[in-house]
Amino acid sequence: MQIIHQHRFDNGLVLVAQPMETARSAALTILTGAGVTAEVQGCFGAGAMLSEMICRGAGDLDARAHSDALDQLGVQRDTDIYTTHMSVGATMIGTKLPDALPLLADMLRSPRLEDDALEPCRDLCLQAIDALDDEPQQKVFVQLRGLHFADPFGRSLFGLREDLEAMSMADVRDFHQKAVVGEGMIIGVAGCFDWPQLRDQVGELLGDMSGSAEHPVPGNSTNYGYTHEKADTAQVHIGVAYDALPETDPDSILQRTATAVLSGGMSGRLFTEVREKRGLCYSVYASYGASKYMGVIWAMQARPLPGRRRRLMCSLPNCAGLVMV
């Protein structure tokens, strides 16, 4: 029987760890409350900026020294921004975990956030928005998300161009101070580690972080319906989103299984019927996404512009649809 350790520190930080006897490596993910739902009006994109900046020096080490220190330990790491969380992920040899933890903790507790990092990070975030024009399927997904979910859950993970262009380093620092706090932070570890040592070290590094993160609850969306957008492309992209069970529902596993059966990759029934048998599109898929408060089914289709065209009908309740031509 697998053992999963769990410890909640006095400041609200939760540590969850699963030892794996056959593993010699360790994987770690740290979730903070610095997702897009924590952003304030006029600073949409602060989460994306912060996720870039925490990799550019932390604690007493500048960007080069901090990166070299992690490289010398063989730590592969990444950061990402999600709806309600910002994540720091890392993998390494298990014996290097005690040495890597202080460096990773500094990325959250004391990132340098130096002024000269603002413009390079801003450019990367703006380039990510520009790149959506070359990825129409992803662009449909971003816009469909905004249609289906009520604010703040429908916000783009990329932020808004006008907010990014006007953002200052003070805005990023304020967002970090407000959103990266002890309460609501979750650390997950799996692989090779010593549980008592890990628990005590995490407590020493992050157990005294103060602050409490806000936890917005999804409201009812009024944006359900059908939307059509013109785009300079030779294809038509169709996206549909409709409400599903949240992850906390006991039947969510059935929802996930049913969606996988119907659209489990190129061998799924959806792909086989719509593309292979009928030849109506280049690609088609559906997926189930869920969180603590809500769930959604995403369905996407891409096909050539000429030929048979059918109007997308969003007859399902609580459903949003978008066609980009």
Mean pLDDT across 246-275: 87
CATH number of 225-324: 3.30.830.10
The single-letter DSSP state of residue 225 is E
Average pLDDT, the chain: 88
pLDDT over 90 percentage in the chain: 59
In this prediction, residue 236 carries a pLDDT of 85
Question: What is the C-alpha separation between 61 and 165, in angstroms, rounded?
Answer: 28
Q: What tens digit of pLDDT does each residue of 112-138 get?
A: 999 999 999 999 999 999 999 888 888
Q: Which CATH architecture has domain 5-206?
A: 2-Layer Sandwich (3.30)
Q: What tens digit of pLDDT does each residue of 21-53 get?
A: 999 999 999 999 999 999 999 999 999 999 999
Q: Is 182 left (phi over 0), alpha (psi -120 to 50) or beta?
A: alpha
Q: How far is CA 57 from CA 71, 110, 114, 179, in A?
A: 13, 9, 8, 19
Burial class (CB in 10 A: 0-12, 13-18, 19+), 137: middle
Q: What tens digit of pLDDT does each residue of 55-100 get?
A: 999 999 999 999 999 999 999 999 999 999 999 999 999 999 999 9
Q: For 7-68, give the DSSP string.
A: EE-TTS-EEEEEE-TT--EEEEEEEES-SGGG--TT-TTHHHHHHHHTTS-BTTB-HHHHHH
pLDDT band for position 315 (cuts 50, 70, 90) = very low
Look up the pTM and report it.
0.86
> Where are the domain boundaries for CATH 3.30.830.10 in the chain?
5-206, 225-324
